[in-house]
C-alpha cells in the first residue's frame, strides 16, 4: 500500500505534463492541419475547410485566391510532399511563430469537362507562420512567404 502512495505523486506529475504540449509539436500539428485544409479548399473551390484551422483574416485572404481561380474556371490541385520545421518561437502564451521548409506539387485543374489540366509544378517554399490560440484552438493567423524555388518543370 505504501508503494502505491509513493507512486501517486509521479502519476499526478505525468498526468499534468501530458496536458502541456511542446510548442514545436503544437506548431507542426496546426500547420499540417492548415495545409490539409488548404488542399481541400483549393481542390474543391470552397474555402469552408479553413474556418476550423485559420484565423478570420487568413481565411478571407485564401478565400479571395480560391475565388480568383474559380472565376477563371479552375481549381488548384495540390499535394504536400514534405514539411520540415526550421524554427519555432513562443512569442506569448497564445502566440507562436514558426518557420518551415515545404515541398509542394500542384497544377490547375479546369472545371470544364475535357479541358486539359495545367502543367504540374513542384516547388520548395520557406514560409513563416503566425499561430494564435483562439477559444482554446491553435489557428494559423497569418502566413508569409520567405522564399520559393521551382523544382519542376
The span from the CA of 58 to the CA of 49, in Å, is: 12
pLDDT at 153 (0 to 100): 86
C-alpha cell at 102: 515545404
pLDDT, tens digit, 9 for 90 and up, residues 63-101: 999 999 999 999 999 999 999 999 999 999 999 999 999
- Which residue, chain included where needed, has cell 497569418? 142
Burial of residue 57 (CB within 10 Å: 0-12, 13-18, 19+) is exposed
Whether residue 17 has pLDDT greater than 70: no
pTM summary value: 0.85
3-state class of 54 per DSSP?
Answer: strand
Q: Which fold has domain 22-152?
A: Nuclear Transport Factor 2; Chain: A, (3.10.450)
Closest Cα partner for 60 from 147, 142, 153? 142
pLDDT, tens digit, 9 for 90 and up, residues 102-115: 999 999 999 999 99
Whether residue 28 has pLDDT greater than 70: yes
Q: What is the dihedral of CA 27, 33, 34, 36, to 10 degrees?
A: 140
Domain boundaries, the chain: 22-152
pLDDT at 69 (0 to 100): 96
pLDDT at 20 (0 to 100): 52
pLDDT at 18 (0 to 100): 40
Q: Bridge-partner residues for 107, per DSSP?
A: 77
Average pLDDT over every residue of 3-22? 48
Detail the DSSP E strand segments found in the chain.
Answer: 74-92, 95-110, 121-134, 137-152
Amino acid at each position: 500500500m505504501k508503494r502505491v502512495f509513493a507512486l501517486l505523486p509521479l502519476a499526478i506529475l505525468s498526468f499534468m505534463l501530458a496536458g502541456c504540449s511542446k510548442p514545436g509539436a503544437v506548431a507542426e500539428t496546426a500547420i499540417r492541419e492548415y495545409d490539409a485544409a488548404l488542399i481541400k479548399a483549393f481542390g474543391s473551390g470552397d474555402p469552408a475547410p479553413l474556418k476550423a484551422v485559420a484565423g478570420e483574416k487568413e481565411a478571407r485572404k485564401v478565400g479571395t485566391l480560391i475565388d480568383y481561380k474559380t472565376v477563371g474556371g479552375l481549381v488548384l490541385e495540390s499535394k504536400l510532399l514534405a514539411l520540415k520545421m526550421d524554427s519555432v518561437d513562443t512569442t506569448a502564451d497564445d502566440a507562436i511563430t514558426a518557420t518551415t521548409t515545404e515541398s509542394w506539387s500542384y497544377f490547375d485543374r479546369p472545371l470544364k469537362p475535357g479541358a486539359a489540366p495545367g502543367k504540374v509544378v513542384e516547388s520548395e517554399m520557406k514560409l513563416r507562420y503566425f499561430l494564435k490560440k483562439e477559444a482554446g484552438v491553435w489557428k494559423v493567423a497569418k502566413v508569409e512567404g520567405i522564399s520559393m524555388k521551382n523544382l519542376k518543370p
